[in-house]
């Protein structure tokens, strides 16, 4: 692809104004945070315009980029000590790269040569928008991670933390989580309830999906809709309904009740993933197995199950995460004896804003990332087995 277009140097009246515009945008952010938006915008534009012109006319690329990096780092250091230095170096690296990227015309490399200026602009604008959405989605998690190491009992970035002073950080919220009875009870309950709910969801969900994939089952769509409904009905409605129903049959405030409620919430995930896997399953395999004398149970465990296993496992993981993250239903169906982690986090946030919640959130985020990675790997494996992707 890279041979399609050749990088050509661009004229001064292109790269200087574009650099200035980027500088103005960066100045907008810095200026607003420092208290004066207009000065920030103007200063950013002027500095970048001068830098872009100066660096490209006076110096070669390598020394110019090092110079920009050093200048921004120094400016950052003067404004905000160590954190300022790091932010400054990041800005410096980016602008050094950006100026020469424009100046040398490298932005054309890798794109078809027949694209108009507008199309090239859109190509990169689109990427910036995607990046911005990504940042928007991930920022809350990125804020939570460092705050969980706060040495204070508040959700505050203290001056010590911003200066990367080791005294501003501590593991005491993790210690609190590991030693506090309330959190340990909640963790134990979550670890007790989630696997049981997952087991039930997976068993019933897989059976339902296999049953519904048989062509001779009547009212397939209606049954499917009913089984999927816990995912569609607002959670609070299901929760209130379950509360009154479970109260009457003596299940409210018991482990069994919470497990059943969570299983009901998890079943739709299993049905959907297993049904999707069954689409690629060749029914003649079961007939072949039957032909060779295997009974349906043997056929299921020896032939069908291994092939749809990735779907079962990913459905099971979703069911597990649903139960592990669920707060509304357990608030209704459970009583204090079945307090799960999300419940403890919910009351903790309302009554006492303690960073222990952030420590727990960090641990849960890490677990969730691990589980989702497993799901993704299984999905790829399943695709490979079915020959849907070359990987």
Partner 1 sequence: MKFRSLTAIAATTALCAPMAFAADIADEMTIVSWGGAYSKSQLRAYHEPYSEKTGTKIINDDSSAEAVAKLRAMNEAGNVTWDVVDVVAADAMRLCDEGLAMEIDPDTQLAAAPDGTSAAEDFGELLVSECFIPQIVYSTTFGYRTDLVGDTPPTSVCAVFDTDAYPGKRSLEKRSINNVEWALLCDGVAKEDVYDVLATEEGQQQALDKLATIKDDVIWWSAGADTPQLLADGEVVMGSTYNGRLFSVIEEQNQPVAMLWDAQIFDLDGWIIPAGLSPERQARALDYIMFATDTQRLADQAKYISYGPARASSAPLVGKHADLGIDMAPHMPTDPENAKNTFLYNYEFWADYRDDIEAKFQAWLSQ
* 359 neighbors 177 (Cβ within 8 angstroms): yes
Cα(345)–Cα(339) distance, rounded to whole angstroms? 10
Q: Hey, what are 115's tokens?
A: 């694209």
From candidates 83, 105, 146, 152, binder to partner 1 by CB under 8 A: 152
* Closest distance of CB 329 from partner 1, Å: 14
- Binding to partner 1 in span 179-218, by CB under 8 A: 182
Length of the chain, in residues: 391
Neighbours of 77 (CB within 10 A): 17
Site for partner 1 contains 154 (CB under 8 A): yes
* 315 neighbors 273 (Cβ within 8 angstroms): yes
Nearer to partner 1, 219 or 244 (CB): 244
* 271 neighbors 213 (Cβ within 8 angstroms): no
- Over the range 161-183, which residues count as b (16 or more CB within 10 Å of their CB) and which as e? beeeeeebbeebbbebbeeeeeb
DSSP reduced 3-state for 150: strand
DSSP reduced 3-state for 234: coil
Site for partner 1 contains 247 (CB under 8 A): yes
From candidates 243, 269, 320, 324, binder to partner 1 by CB under 8 A: 243
Nearer to partner 1, 10 or 150 (CB): 150
Nearer to partner 1, 277 or 338 (CB): 338
* Closest distance of CB 242 from partner 1, Å: 11
* Closest distance of CB 253 from partner 1, Å: 5
* Closest distance of CB 261 from partner 1, Å: 15
Binding range to partner 1, per CB under 8 A, among 40-48, 167-175, 275-283, 337-345 = 337-345
DSSP reduced 3-state for 294: coil
From candidates 57, 125, 156, 184, binder to partner 1 by CB under 8 A: 156
Cα(225)–Cα(280) distance, rounded to whole angstroms? 22
Look at the alpha carbons of 43, 49, 52, 57 in this order and tell me if their dihedral is positive or negative. negative
From candidates 119, 244, 302, 384, binder to partner 1 by CB under 8 A: 244
What is the largest distance, in Å, between two alpha-carbon atoms of the chain? 84
Site for partner 1 contains 336 (CB under 8 A): yes
Site for partner 1 contains 352 (CB under 8 A): yes
What is the chain's percent helix, strand, coil content, to nearest 5?
Answer: 80, 0, 20
- Binding to partner 1 in span 16-55, by CB under 8 A: none
From candidates 110, 296, 337, 370, binder to partner 1 by CB under 8 A: 337
Site for partner 1 contains 370 (CB under 8 A): no
From candidates 8, 351, 387, 390, binder to partner 1 by CB under 8 A: 351
Binding range to partner 1, per CB under 8 A, among 11-19, 68-76, 250-258, 375-383 = 250-258
* Closest distance of CB 156 from partner 1, Å: 5
Site for partner 1 contains 150 (CB under 8 A): no
Binding range to partner 1, per CB under 8 A, among 13-21, 67-75, 161-169, 240-248 = 240-248
Q: Hey, what are 116's tokens?
A: 């108009």
* Closest distance of CB 78 from partner 1, Å: 24
Distance of CA 77 to the CA centre of its chain: 33
* Closest distance of CB 244 from partner 1, Å: 5
Sequence-distant (6+) residues with CB within 8 A of 307 are 277, 281, 285, 385
H or E element at residue 14: helix 12-34
> Where along the sequence are the contacts to partner 1 (CB under 8 A)?
152-156, 182, 243-244, 247-248, 250-256, 335-339, 347-353
């Amino acid at each position: 692809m890279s041979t399609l277009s050749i990088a050509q140097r661009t004229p001064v009246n292109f790269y200087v104004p574009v650099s200035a515009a980027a500088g103005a945008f960066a100045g907008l952010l810095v200026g607003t945070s420092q208290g004066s938006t207009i000065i920030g915008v103007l200063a950013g534009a002027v500095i970048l315009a001068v830098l872009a012109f100066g660096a490209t006319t006076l110096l070669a690329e390598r020394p110019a980029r090092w110079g920009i990096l050093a200048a921004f780092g120094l400016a950052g250091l003067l404004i905000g000590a160590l954190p300022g230095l790091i932010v400054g170096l990041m800005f410096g690296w980016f602008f050094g790269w950006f100026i020469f990227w424009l100046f040398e015309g490298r932005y054309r490399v890798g794109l078809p040569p027949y694209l108009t200026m507008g199309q090239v602009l859109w190509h990169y604008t689109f990427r910036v928008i995607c990046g911005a959405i990504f940042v928007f989605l991930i920022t809350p998690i990125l804020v939570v991670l460092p705050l969980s190491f706060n040495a204070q009992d508040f959700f505050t970035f203290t001056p010590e933390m911003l200066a990367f002073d080791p005294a501003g950080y501590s593991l005491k919220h993790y210690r609190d989580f590991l030693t506090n009875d309330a959190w340990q009870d909640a963790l134990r309950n979550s670890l007790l309830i989630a696997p049981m709910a997952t087991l039930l969801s997976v068993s019933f969900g897989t059976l339902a999906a296999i049953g519904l994939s048989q062509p001779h089952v009547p009212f397939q769509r209606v049954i499917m809709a009913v089984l999927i409904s816990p995912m569609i009905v607002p959670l609070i409605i299901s929760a209130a309904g379950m509360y009154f129903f479970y109260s009457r049959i003596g299940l409210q405030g018991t482990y069994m009740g919470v497990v059943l409620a969570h299983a009901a919430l998890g079943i739709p995930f299993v049905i959907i993933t297993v049904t999707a896997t069954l689409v690629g399953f060749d029914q003649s395999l079961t007939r072949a197995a039957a032909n060779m004398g295997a009974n349906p149970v043997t056929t299921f465990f020896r032939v069908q199950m291994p092939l749809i296993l990735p779907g079962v496992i990913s459905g099971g993981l979703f069911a597990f995460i649903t139960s592990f993250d669920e707060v509304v239903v357990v608030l209704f169906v459970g009583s204090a004896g079945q307090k799960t982690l999300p419940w403890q986090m919910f009351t903790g946030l309302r009554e006492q804003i303690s960073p222990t919640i952030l420590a727990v959130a960090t641990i849960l985020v890490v677990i969730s990332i691990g589980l989702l990675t497993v799901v993704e790997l299984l999905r790829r494996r399943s695709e490979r087995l079915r020959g849907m992707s070359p990987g």
